[in-house]
Amino acid sequence: MKKCDVLLITVPDTDTLLPLQAPAVLKAALEKHQFTAHTYDVNIEFQRMKDDDADKWNLLKNYFSFGTVIDSANLTIIEAYVDEVVNQLLDTYDFNYIGISVFSYQCQHFTKMFCEKLKLRSPYIQIILGGQGLLSQGLGSNDEWVNLLKRNNLIDHYIISEGENAIVQLLTEGKGKGVDNLEWEQQLNMDANAFPDYTDYKFELYREKILMITGSRGCVRRCTFCDIHNHWQRFVFRSGDSIANEMISQSERYGIYHFSFTDSLVNGSMKAYRDFVTKLAEHNSTAENKISWDGQIITRGIKAMTAEDWRLTALSGADDLASGVESGSERVRDHMKKQFSNQDLDEFVHEAHKNGVTLQFLMIIGYPTETHEDFLETLRMFKRYKKYDNLVSRVYLGSTLGVLPGTPLATEHTHELELNNGENFWVYDKNPTLTFKERIKRRIIAGEELKKMGYTIGGDDNHLKLLHFLWNVNQKQQSQAVVDLNTSSINDQKYS
């Protein structure tokens, strides 16, 4: 049995086959202050279940993500799975504290059940929750969900943000900024953090050998469909030298040479970005094993991101950069507050192609203001960019737009949006013909047309399955995500 002060885990459902970074970050912070820690990725084991038992995986995923189960008899299967996870951890580790990374609100259902069962089995173990998923329940995003868990003695503490500092303060002083309250302080010097510790990670479980890296927190944009500003009030970034140094050091330590940025955007600060790609380009010019990386990048025109920036981007090992293009309609993007024109997008795509940097396009089909003509503009955009052979490696169409808690759409446009029993089932007063059925229709057409053009649609099968599931929920006039948090037993909870 492995003994430690703190066991750090991830939980489902976070839709990724890549290693989540939070446990490695916290392990490094704790061990820097002489605490012992182990990490365990429950989420990756859950995601791999899809290969062995797709029906069970779909049942669990729909419940953990949306609180939705069509047949109440299946609740026993969900209970049994959570029991298995609790037993496995208690049989493998001897620990005094467990830190649970709640990545998003779609991890809340599993987390609550897990805490209930762990407290029954081992009430002496102190449970600490952390992550931005603690603040994403309901349209008025706050800490009510996690506070309820604490009031019901299902957890001992929660950390709203800046966990690498707060968890050390909690273990040494019993309190800290952001511990059991909303009064956390955003860290302004990210360069002071220890490099993440991945020694417990079983990299063979993941889709690819990749290390995660964080160069910034927050975003320089305020897109209407995104809730990041509900969490990170300021855009804070590391120096370019610090980012490059971590990549070089970690590649030597773990023998892994590809890095994936967790940032909302890698080029929010062009000064830091230029320093980063310059140093990494210099390293790659002589390194036996060249470093490569991917991440999300803001679409910038040639004045903001120059030809020299693009040359160094290519030499630094950039590959498959994901850009939130969202729509081919400039009018729709203006309402989203994306802040780039069609000309900016054309220049961005041209420079990427010229320098051999592949792109992924992240799209939203069925934004509230999207007309039929706007939808056709999106299809015409993809037809126009086919002249750049193999530039766009994948297009992510998602399912259809969900109005997420804490986003400007949810907080600033509530008088125009009727949520209609679910985040995906909304109706927009100013565009009433854009029904849920019409959004599904456009999403299906977009997928079919892009495939005809030769594009690869990322995650298409899963997204279409989700749409089919949600359509059935909608047609039965059921509610999406209606778990009653006032009950302690899953058998007493409401279900769709």
Question: Residue 263 sits in a domain of what CATH number?
Answer: 3.80.30.20
pLDDT (0 to 100) of residue 230: 73
Residues 312 and 326 in one domain: no
Residues 18 and 104 in one domain: yes
Question: Distance between CA 142 and CA 230 in Å, rounded?
Answer: 9
Question: What average pLDDT score do residues 254-260 get?
Answer: 96
Measuring CA to CA, how many Å separate 126 from each of 36, 46, 95, 200, 492? 15, 24, 9, 21, 26
* Phi, psi of 83, rounded to the nearest 5 degrees: -55, -45
The pTM of the whole model exceeds 0.85: no
Q: Is residue 275 part of a domain?
A: yes
Question: What average pLDDT score do residues 239-256 get?
Answer: 97
Domain boundary among 286, 318, 350: 318
- Specify the 3-state DSSP secondary structure of 168: helix
Residues 311 and 330 in one domain: no
Question: Distance between CA 205 and CA 203 in Å, rounded?
Answer: 5
Domain that residue 286 falls in: 208-218+234-318
Residues 146 and 295 in one domain: no
Residues 406 and 482 in one domain: yes
Question: Distance between CA 481 and CA 496 in Å, rounded?
Answer: 8
pLDDT in tens, 354-412: 999 999 999 999 999 999 999 999 999 999 999 998 999 999 999 889 888 778 998 88
Q: Is residue 273 part of a domain?
A: yes
Question: Distance between CA 72 and CA 61 in Å, rounded?
Answer: 15
Residues 159 and 111 in one domain: yes
pLDDT band at 20 (very low <50, low <70, confident <90, very high): very high
Confidence check: pLDDT of 494 > 60: no
Q: State the CATH number of the domain containing residue 428.
A: 3.30.750.200
Confidence check: pLDDT of 75 > 70: yes
Confidence check: pLDDT of 137 > 50: no
Q: Is residue 249 part of a domain?
A: yes
- The token pair at 268 is 């929010």
pLDDT (0 to 100) of residue 141: 53
Do residues 340 and 302 make contact, with C-beta atoms less than 8 angstroms apart?
no
Residues 324 and 439 in one domain: yes
Residues 388 and 486 in one domain: yes
In percent, how much of the chain has pLDDT > 70? 95
Residue with tokens 């885990």: 9
In percent, how much of the chain has pLDDT > 90? 74
Q: Is residue 194 part of a domain?
A: no
Question: Distance between CA 251 and CA 90 in Å, rounded?
Answer: 33
pLDDT (0 to 100) of residue 488: 31
pLDDT band at 421 (very low <50, low <70, confident <90, very high): confident
Residues 310 and 362 in one domain: no
Q: State the CATH number of the domain containing residue 91.
A: 3.40.50.280
Nearest to 103 by CA among 169, 18, 38, 29: 18
pLDDT in tens, 334-368: 999 999 999 999 999 999 999 999 999 999 999 99
pLDDT in tens, 190-209: 999 999 999 999 999 998 88
Q: What value does the mean pLDDT of the chain take? A: 91
Confidence check: pLDDT of 18 > 60: yes
pLDDT (0 to 100) of residue 483: 32
**Half-sphere CA count of 369, side-chain side, radius 13 A:** 15
pLDDT in tens, 36-64: 999 999 999 999 999 999 999 999 999 99
Q: Is residue 111 part of a domain?
A: yes
pLDDT in tens, 321-342: 999 999 999 999 999 999 999 9
Residues 376 and 465 in one domain: yes
pLDDT (0 to 100) of residue 74: 86
Q: Between helices 42-52 and 54-66, what is the axis angle to 10°?
A: 140
Least confident of 217-231, 255-269, 295-309: 217-231
Question: What average pLDDT score do residues 418-441 get?
Answer: 90
pLDDT (0 to 100) of residue 139: 37
Q: Is residue 199 part of a domain?
A: no
Confidence check: pLDDT of 456 > 50: yes
pLDDT (0 to 100) of residue 136: 55
Residues 496 and 426 in one domain: yes
Burial of residue 243 (CB within 10 Å: 0-12, 13-18, 19+) is buried
Domain boundary among 281, 297, 318: 318
pLDDT band at 138 (very low <50, low <70, confident <90, very high): very low
pLDDT (0 to 100) of residue 161: 84
Do residues 212 and 258 make contact, with C-beta atoms less than 8 angstroms apart?
no
Q: Is residue 301 part of a domain?
A: yes
pLDDT in tens, 143-168: 889 999 999 999 999 998 889 999 99
Confidence check: pLDDT of 491 > 50: no
Least confident of 100-104, 149-153, 393-397, 478-482: 478-482
pLDDT band at 484 (very low <50, low <70, confident <90, very high): very low
pLDDT (0 to 100) of residue 233: 80
What is the total count of domains within the chain? 3
Residues 119 and 184 in one domain: yes
Domain boundary among 270, 300, 318: 318
